[in-house]
Amino acid sequence: MESRFRKPCRMGRIRYKLKRDRAGHAGGPATLNISKGYYVRKRVLLVTLLLLISACSNRVGHRLDSRNLQHIHAGQTTKAQLIALFGQPDSETPYPDGQRLLKWTYSEARTLNTTEGQTLTVQMKNDKVLNYALSKS
């Protein structure tokens, strides 16, 4: 008689448990008995989705520390000192008369279309800082 309610699929087992519990055959009142596996799968799915959403950010370059900007002085700071402070520049463009333009960039794209960026541009002449600018976006 018991085989009449059993089904080969998982839903059949839940239906069998529901019929059995509603009838009160388990010795207690009629209760809804859904397996713990259902809730575990739901939690795993939720955690997976949260990890995927939080991992959706992309960073390029190194964040430029504003404290290091205080060490830049026009006519005194050299290219070697800049590299020690910020690492190798992302681009270096030579100009006539011994001038060079050095750029360090940092950008971070996050979920929900939010972005943050910084660009440090340093104009050099004869291996010394002529002027510099930090722009944020």
All domains in the chain, ordered by first residue: 2-54 (no CATH), 58-136 (3.30.1450.10)
DSSP 25: T
User: 35-47: string of b/e by CB count within 10 Å (b at 16+)?
Assistant: eeeeeeeeeeeee
112/40 Cα distance (integer angstroms): 28
Q: Give 91-133 pLDDT, tens digit per residue.
A: 999 988 889 999 998 887 766 667 778 889 999 998 899 999 8
Nearest by Cα to 90 from 66, 119, 111: 119
- Burial of 6 from C-beta contacts in 10 A (0-12 / 13-18 / 19+): exposed
Q: Give 4-22 pLDDT, tens digit per residue.
A: 555 455 555 555 555 555 5
Contact call for residues 118 and 135 (beta carbons, < 8 A): yes
Beta carbons within 10 angstroms of residue 129's beta carbon: 20
| pLDDT for residue 128 | 92
Radius of gyration of the chain (CA): 32
124/52 Cα distance (integer angstroms): 43
pTM of the model: 0.56
